[in-house]
Amino acid sequence: MSKLLKEEIVSIEKIAREIYKISIKSDYVSDNAVPGQFVNIRCSDGITALLRRPISICDVDKAKGTFDICFQIKGIGTEYLAKKTAGETIDIIAPIGKPFHLSSEYKTIAVVGGGIGVFPLLHLLKESSGSQRYAFLGFRNKEFVVLEDEFSAASNKLNISTDDGSAGYKGLVTDLLENELKEKGIDIIYACGPTPMLRNVMKIAQAYNTKCQVSMEQRMGCGIGACLVCACKTKAENEDGWEYSHVCKDGPVFWSNEIILD
Ligand SMILES: Cc1cc2nc3c(=O)[nH]c(=O)nc-3n(C[C@H](O)[C@H](O)[C@H](O)COP(=O)(O)OP(=O)(O)OC[C@H]3O[C@@H](n4cnc5c(N)ncnc54)[C@H](O)[C@@H]3O)c2cc1C
Ligand code: FES
């Protein structure tokens, strides 16, 4: 169950170009959060950035009772967030959302992340019981590569790609996924990132008959299913064959065979 909480910021650090990590003390979130869930943050006290901003739970330390979020500065909300300091209180609703499906049946798993979509996948890798855990992460260029050591420690094999080749493979992260699938089977793929990447991952999963879940990072308004800002198309048994679902209420995680990405 999600709760409205006022928690203490333990630390804040810049971890890459325009990207920050905030560690938050919260026994409730660290005890209850499962991979794929997010927090809805009130970024400022005034009327600017009034709406809460959704940010994924990136890592959880149950022993310390803390969790981490990582975010890229995009606009006013994340700009405010980057100015927070250790010791300050942060107003959150957490943990929220339909999580990734984890099962002891999934022995070989692959996570595929693009840009800010990599963040929820670290928590997932750490919680997965899969004996083979592959990470495929794509970034614009080396300045945006984040959490390399953390993903390397949490996976058996970390594969990085950049658009310009300044770090890792030059090209699409989905090329790396497909190369792996040509070599060996994967029980499930979990993906989060920009829509063109998700579209590619879903196509590859279908071609290789592999289970796949995607986490959608749609722009949000109310965050509680009352507006249509976060609408996405999902398959339905009606005349049109589809309906609108809400990422905030029905997601953010969906099975790839239930979502329609136009
Ligand atoms: C479930 C979920 C989890 C998320 N997890 C993370 C995370 O872990 N780390 C992270 O950095 N971001 C994450 N995001 C995206 C994050 O919520 C937005 O970047 C943030 O709300 C932007 O707020 P802002 O006030 O800084 O920008 P705004 O001023 O609201 O917008 C600035 C610009 O960014 C665009 N924009 C805003 N939100 C989004 C969005 N969701 N997708 C694409 N473009 C957008 C706007 O159209 C505008 O051009 C997540 C989104 C969702 C829905
Ligand atoms: S953000 Fe308003 S319905 Fe999802």
Last residue of a domain, one of 42, 65, 96: 96
Please tell me whether residues 129 and 171 are part of one structural domain: yes
Is 49 touching ligand 1 by the criterion CB < 6 Å? Answer: yes
Please tell me whether residues 29 and 70 are part of one structural domain: yes
Residue 74 CA, ligand 1 centroid: distance in Å? 7
What is the structure's pLDDT at 45?
A: 82
Please tell me whether residues 86 and 107 are part of one structural domain: no
Residue 178 CA, ligand 1 centroid: distance in Å? 28
Q: What is the phi/psi pair of residue 108, to 5°?
A: -115, 115
What is the structure's pLDDT at 201?
A: 98
Residue from 236, 229, 228 nearest 259 by CA? 236
Domain extent at residue 25:
3-96
Residue 56 CA, ligand 1 centroid: distance in Å? 11
In this structure, the residue with its CA closest to atom 7 of ligand 1 is 55
Which residues, other chains included, contact 103 with Cβ-Cβ below 8 Å and sequence gap of 6+? none
In this structure, the residue with its CA closest to atom 8 of ligand 1 is 56
CA max distance for the chain:
54
Please tell me whether residues 107 and 183 are part of one structural domain: yes
Please tell me whether residues 121 and 207 are part of one structural domain: yes
Element (H, E) at 181: helix 173-183
Domain count, the chain: 3
Last residue of a domain, one of 69, 96, 123: 96
Q: Any idea what DSSP says for residue 75? A: S
What is the structure's pLDDT at 107?
A: 96
Please tell me whether residues 193 and 159 are part of one structural domain: yes
Please tell me whether residues 114 and 196 are part of one structural domain: yes
Please tell me whether residues 24 and 123 are part of one structural domain: no
Last residue of a domain, one of 96, 122, 139: 96
What is the structure's pLDDT at 224?
A: 85
Element (H, E) at 109: strand 108-114
Residue from 134, 145, 128 nearest 17 by CA? 145
- pLDDT tens string, the chain, 262 residues long: the values are 999 999 999 999 999 999 999 999 999 999 999 999 999 999 988 777 788 999 999 999 999 999 999 999 999 999 999 999 999 999 999 999 999 999 999 999 999 999 999 999 999 999 999 899 999 999 999 999 999 999 999 999 999 999 999 999 999 999 999 999 999 899 999 999 999 999 999 999 999 999 999 999 988 988 888 888 999 999 999 999 999 999 999 999 999 999 999 8
Residue 193 CA, ligand 1 centroid: distance in Å? 12
